[in-house]
Structure 1
Amino acid sequence: MLGDKNRLAQVLINLVGNAIKFTEEGFVKLMVSQKRQTKDKVWIKFSVQDSGIGIPAEKLGQIFNRFSQSGETNSRRFGGTGLGLNISKSIVEKMNGLIEVNSKEGAGSEFSFEIAFNKSDRKQSSDSQSTPKEPGDKRLNPIRILLCEDNELNQVLMTKLLSPPHFELTLAKSGLEGVRYLESHSVDLILMDIQMPVMDGYQATDKIRNELNIKAPIIALSANFLIKEKKKCLDAGMDDYLSKPFSQEELFQKIRDWAPAGSVASNTDGEYHPDLQASELPVDLSILSEFSGGNREFELEMIRMFLDQVKSWKEEMKQDISQESFEGIKASSHRLKSSFAVIGAKDEALAQLQVLAENRDLSNIIGVFQGMIEYLDLAIPFLEEKLNKK
């Protein structure tokens, strides 16, 4: 089956970890079953069941809300911010699924969700190497793409993915820079990051649509994968939405969906069969390897850029925390999230920091940030070792 293994793993880790936390004795079970299938798809149900403390009936309706636990006593007893279920719900919805809970106080809980996966017609082979099929035939017209993105690591990554002869990529470091480029140039497609300095994606889209009267498709790029964020982008005049982190094939598929007739992307079936690779802890470099296509120098460059970004982010966070700058905490954590995704680093805490900053919860911000430092104390030497092996 073809699907997003990283998002699926994150949901299962959250649910199983939550079940273990609230189960002092008895069992925690993860059950996977096929529900139905068609020629092209198969629906799989995932259930996490435990014999733990359960959830009172009056709390079931709010259990997926931010910072929700089944009671103040449990919050003090078991700790945590209560963000895991809210994040899991958001990820499942991103995968077009629905998460449900059945529970009885004192008798355990069961969290379940169902996801539709595309079938793969490829027979797995231990020595097979497969790469994503680029959207195109070199003999056709390349796609002219404007990328509005302020994150340097993402710029390098997209330059690698959207390279000639299939693409003509232009980079803009802000929405304003992108608007100015469009005043004198034509493009086939615009990839628009939402959070940028000077002029954000919403403001840039408004000017592109209403002042420049440009009709080229705009695909929003955002680290927020909430349904309301997608709706806000579409309401603002964008045509589609791609949440970070995204796979190479997800990006290509969006380009195929919106490419003009006669371009390379409009003349391919776009089949894609990613290889499953074993994760390396504490960082899963298989994600970066997928993007690089085996280009070692490119991977090393991305690792170096990531380490530089993390160093700057740690100093920014210390300053923002000391000054209680919640907007700064939220913005810097959001900006770093996509870099974590590309490298394969664990980014759950960055999402927590954004939510905590919105709620001005300084004490929990300090705790989550300290946990991030402890994680980075493992991840940074791991990545530095990879550089030294060159």
Structure 2
Amino acid sequence: SSQVDPSIPDTLIGDATRLTQILVNLIGNAIKFTQQGNVNIEVYNKEQLDGKITVGFKVSDTGIGIDKEKLTEVFERFNQGEDSITRNYGGTGLGLSIVKNLILLQHGNIEVSSEQGKGTTFNFYIPYGISAEQIQNVPALDVNHFKDKNNMPWRVLVVDDNAINQSLMKHLLLQWNVDFDIVANGLEAVNRLREHVYDLILMDIQMPQMDGYTATQQIREVLQLDTPIIAMTAHAMAGEREKCLSRGMNDYISKPIKEEELFKLISSFGLQEHPQQTVENVTVENSFKFIDLDYMRSISGGDVDFEKTVTQQFITNVPKHLQQLKTAYQNNDFATVNMRAHDFKTSIAMLGLLNILAEKLDSIELVSEQNKVTEQIIKDLEYVLMQAVAEAKIFLQQL
């Protein structure tokens, strides 16, 4: 679980990449060392004065804990509570000594409290500047206002290997009257761009054969094209947008894709506003335990054919990809395990499963060796997914 103090300004001045490294390491350790219970992240306003704020971060878990005699040593290089912990759980990512150094470099500090068998809490703070330009609350954009009325001769290339996400993008772009093509990986995108001209590229990051970063590098350096590229990724962490921009992309949107956010991005690159046309929404009552239809309904706008398509893709692909993940885990093929876990985030979002499975998928996406904790997580994942598939079949019959 997580809590963020609403009094913290939306836009701060600081090092997002270092903060991401720190949080990924501390949260990753908390998950790794917590076989049962919970992990909680709290972001709080420690002090605010004259355009500056000290932001506090608290990462707590109910895991194995640390011996009190070892607490003074946890931030020393190459130190871990016990040798048996290294054998059972593996290392601790960057290492807590590097985490502390990253915090000290930003004029912050970190402390730890723990009790064996009950859990551990890392509490650190970093000072930031408050940007003069803050995110403004603006009225929600009515995307229906633009549907079927765009007459711009626009061509968009969608690069994504996930079938459900392909269906989503096809559904949205058709409504906006935009001409588009879809390819399944970066290599296909580069080859397509050698022969065709596009006004915009929507680029997934993790794909087989050639990922989004490599494809963007090819487009910029080999093809010498300045076509705007919007990255699409399930990594919604601080610093991800900056990483995408540094690799030559123009902007970034996190999955699951929200129609309004995507339209705002596309419109910033040239899609124009036109007179309003309304779309009548058709809904089906949601009475399921696992799947949640709210996101699908918000995207479909009552388009039953679209709902049938993505639901059938979910029913077909999820069991197959789950089996691939399990087989890869048994074969110690952790690259495939990590890739499948990442891809699931897009596949399950359409039927509203991300809220209950995101933490499990995050954990599997980082796994690098077999252990009992991961085996239980995979079993839990399988149970939820198969129950969701059963519910999806019922929903499909109702359409």
TM-score by length of 2: 0.63
246-255 vs 151-160, greater mean Cα deviation: 246-255
Is the CA contact (8 Å cut-off) linking 2:232 and 2:252 kept in structure 1? yes
- Report the 3-state secondary structure (helix = DSSP H, G, I; strand = E; otherwise coil) of the residue aligned with 1:237: coil
Tell me, yes or no, if structure 1 residue 350 matches structure 2 residue 361: yes
Residues 61-72 of structure 1: matches in 2 within 5 Å?
none
Residues 1-390 of structure 1: matches in 2 within 5 Å?
21=37, 119=137, 132-133=143-144, 138=149, 140-163=151-174, 166-257=177-268, 259-260=269-270, 263-264=271-272, 281-345=289-353, 346-356=357-367, 359-390=368-399
Tell me the amino acid that sits aligned with residue 345 of structure 2. Answer: K
What RMSD over aligned residues (CA atoms) do the two structures have, in Å?
Answer: 4.9
Specify whether residues 135 and 387 from structure 1 end up closer, same or farther in structure 2 by C-alpha distance, changes over 3 A only.
same
- Report the 3-state secondary structure (helix = DSSP H, G, I; strand = E; otherwise coil) of the residue aligned with 1:169: strand
Distance (whole Å) between structure 2 residues aligned to residue 182 and residue 238 of structure 1: 16
Distance (whole Å) between structure 2 residues aligned to residue 137 and residue 377 of structure 1: 38
310-319 vs 162-171, greater mean Cα deviation: 162-171
Instruction: Give the C-alpha shift of residue 338 in structure 1.
Output: 0.6
Is the CA contact (8 Å cut-off) linking 2:205 and 2:213 kept in structure 1? yes
Tell me the amino acid that sits aligned with residue 347 of structure 2. Answer: S
Is the CA contact (8 Å cut-off) linking 1:166 and 1:264 kept in structure 2? no
Distance (whole Å) between structure 2 residues aligned to residue 284 and residue 60 of structure 1: 43
Distance (whole Å) between structure 1 residues aligned to residue 351 and residue 198 of structure 2: 30
Is the CA contact (8 Å cut-off) linking 1:145 and 1:190 kept in structure 2? yes
Tell me the amino acid that sits aligned with residue 382 of structure 2. Answer: I
Tell me the amino acid that sits aligned with residue 367 of structure 1. Answer: Q
Instruction: Give the C-alpha shift of residue 135 in structure 1.
Output: 5.1
* Runs of at least 5 residues in structure 1 that lack an aligned partner in the other structure: 4-10, 37-44, 63-69, 84-99, 123-129, 269-276
The size of the alignment, in residue pairs, is 320
Tell me the amino acid that sits aligned with residue 349 of structure 2. Answer: A
- Report the 3-state secondary structure (helix = DSSP H, G, I; strand = E; otherwise coil) of the residue aligned with 1:146: strand
Is the CA contact (8 Å cut-off) linking 2:150 and 2:274 kept in structure 1? no
Q: Deviations for 1:273-320, whole angstroms, at most 9, x for unmatched residues?
A: xxxx98953122101111101222321221110111111112212321
Tell me the amino acid that sits aligned with residue 386 of structure 1. Answer: F
- Report the 3-state secondary structure (helix = DSSP H, G, I; strand = E; otherwise coil) of the residue aligned with 1:213: coil
Specify whether residues 155 and 121 from structure 1 end up closer, same or farther in structure 2 by C-alpha distance, changes over 3 A only.
closer
Instruction: Give the C-alpha shift of residue 111 in structure 1.
Output: 9.1
Tell me the amino acid that sits aligned with residue 361 of structure 2. Answer: L
Q: Deviations for 1:312-353, whole angstroms, at most 9, x for unmatched residues?
A: 112212321221111111112212211111221133322211
Distance (whole Å) between structure 1 residues aligned to residue 369 and residue 173 of structure 2: 39
Instruction: Give the C-alpha shift of residue 238 in structure 1.
Output: 1.0
The residue number in structure 1 matching 2:24 is: none
Q: Deviations for 1:114-167, whole angstroms, at most 9, x for unmatched residues?
A: xx9864668xxxxxxx96346578264143211111111111110001115531
Tell me the amino acid that sits aligned with residue 388 of structure 1. Answer: Q
The residue number in structure 2 matching 1:96 is: none
Tell me the amino acid that sits aligned with residue 317 of structure 1. Answer: L
Distance (whole Å) between structure 1 residues aligned to residue 318 and residue 162 of structure 2: 13
Instruction: Give the C-alpha shift of residue 226 in structure 1.
Output: 2.9
Specify whether residues 256 and 266 from structure 1 end up closer, same or farther in structure 2 by C-alpha distance, changes over 3 A only.
farther
Specify whether residues 211 and 303 from structure 1 end up closer, same or farther in structure 2 by C-alpha distance, changes over 3 A only.
same
Distance (whole Å) between structure 2 residues aligned to residue 184 and residue 253 of structure 1: 28
Instruction: Give the C-alpha shift of residue 193 in structure 1.
Output: 0.9
Distance (whole Å) between structure 1 residues aligned to residue 342 and residue 197 of structure 2: 30
Tell me the amino acid that sits aligned with residue 187 of structure 1. Answer: Y
Specify whether residues 103 and 239 from structure 1 end up closer, same or farther in structure 2 by C-alpha distance, changes over 3 A only.
same
TM-score by length of 1: 0.64
* Runs of at least 5 residues in structure 2 that lack an aligned partner in the other structure: 1-5, 11-26, 49-55, 93-108, 126-133, 277-284
Tell me the amino acid that sits aligned with residue 378 of structure 1. Answer: Q
- Report the 3-state secondary structure (helix = DSSP H, G, I; strand = E; otherwise coil) of the residue aligned with 1:324: coil
192-201 vs 360-369, greater mean Cα deviation: 360-369
Tell me the amino acid that sits aligned with residue 307 of structure 1. Answer: I
220-229 vs 292-301, greater mean Cα deviation: 220-229
Is the CA contact (8 Å cut-off) linking 1:191 and 1:218 kept in structure 2? yes
Is the CA contact (8 Å cut-off) linking 1:142 and 1:165 kept in structure 2? no
